[in-house]
Structure 1
């Protein structure tokens, strides 16, 4: 009698997924770039925006003190969901806002740093404020409050400026960069600098 097949035998996970990590303020164009990337990348990718995780939460009113804890737990869950997808072999485009230092530190401890392409999505403050007014679905001044901190770590694999470049052009630049990503990656360098408590990552990309 033959042995029953393993439950995971038809789903090999001997490869990790790549994470294209788009970081920028609200209204900087990250989601638009992510949508264009999914159209032109050669292999399947998932777009995982943090806004989707916030939208899953119930609409119950919470006080300011409780809200800060709820938001932090949401971000932490989001990070771990991305890590789980990549660990299972899925390629992911992450739409993120590193406006609080702990968010980057958390990601540095969770993601395999050699598998991350860190993309800075920049935009002038004037253009961000104009987009906020036109969108009408963001708190006034949100991008301005995030503006100084979101790029404070100062290191990227590749950057785009959506003040003048469109989402299609930015996506094409990122796609063309992927085969040429240098080592060490920005995430590897940031992990060594900002998370000395972690063991050195001896991981090599396996896409």
Structure 2
């Protein structure tokens, strides 16, 4: 059984910052994986999507289906994961809950004030303007977490909180009800 720390929050909420520090401090080897890693590595032909040569909406489902399947494959092979992801599409929670059911998933909500999300989104320049606000308003609805963080508490406090919570064996999130 692999261990997965799933950081779920709006675009620009601070998931990557928490994940990097968590990976540096946790006592076991964990992969840090996200869509941003794939995007930044050149896996996707972004310039061709941006130019309109390829249509992202036609490729999006296959991309995410493959990403989600890869997460299960990594965990099934025995790799511990720090996953940062945004469950912004109906059915994704159920799909991942099912495919990761045999693993220990610690589901963490990453919250950030809307004004700060909008500011970060604008400063980054690599996000679709408005996505942070949309995420802020929708992605946490109907989900139950093992832990909830506020990024204004600071990365050190948040990482310490995640580590303390993860070390507990009790899970009560949307993922734990699917556990085998």
* TM-score normalised by L of structure 1: 0.78
Aligned to 2:166: 178
Asked if structure 1 preserves the Cα contact closer than 8 Å seen for 2:75 and 2:103, the reply is: no
State whether structure 2 residue 47 is matched by structure 1 residue 72.
Answer: no
More helix by share: 2
Unaligned runs of at least 5 residues, structure 2: none
Asked if structure 2 preserves the Cα contact closer than 8 Å seen for 1:23 and 1:98, the reply is: yes
1:13-162 maps to which residues of 2 (within 5 A)?
Answer: 16-55=1-40, 56-59=43-46, 60-61=48-49, 66-112=55-101, 115-162=104-151
Structure with greater contact order relative to length (CA < 8 Å, sep ≥ 6): 2
Cα RMSD (Å)? 2.0
Q: Summarize the Cα distance change of 1:137–1:184 in structure 2 as closer, same or farther, 3 Å threshold.
A: closer
CA distance in 2, matches of 1:114, 1:184: 14
* TM-score normalised by L of structure 2: 0.88
CA distance in 2, matches of 1:151, 1:183: 18
CA distance in 2, matches of 1:113, 1:147: 30
CA distance in 1, matches of 2:70, 2:89: 19
Unaligned runs of at least 5 residues, structure 1: 1-15, 192-200, 203-207
Deviation at 1:157, TM superposition (A): 0.2
Number of residues of Structure 1 aligned to a counterpart in Structure 2: 176
CA distance in 2, matches of 1:54, 1:123: 23
Larger Rg: 1
Aligned to 2:176: 188
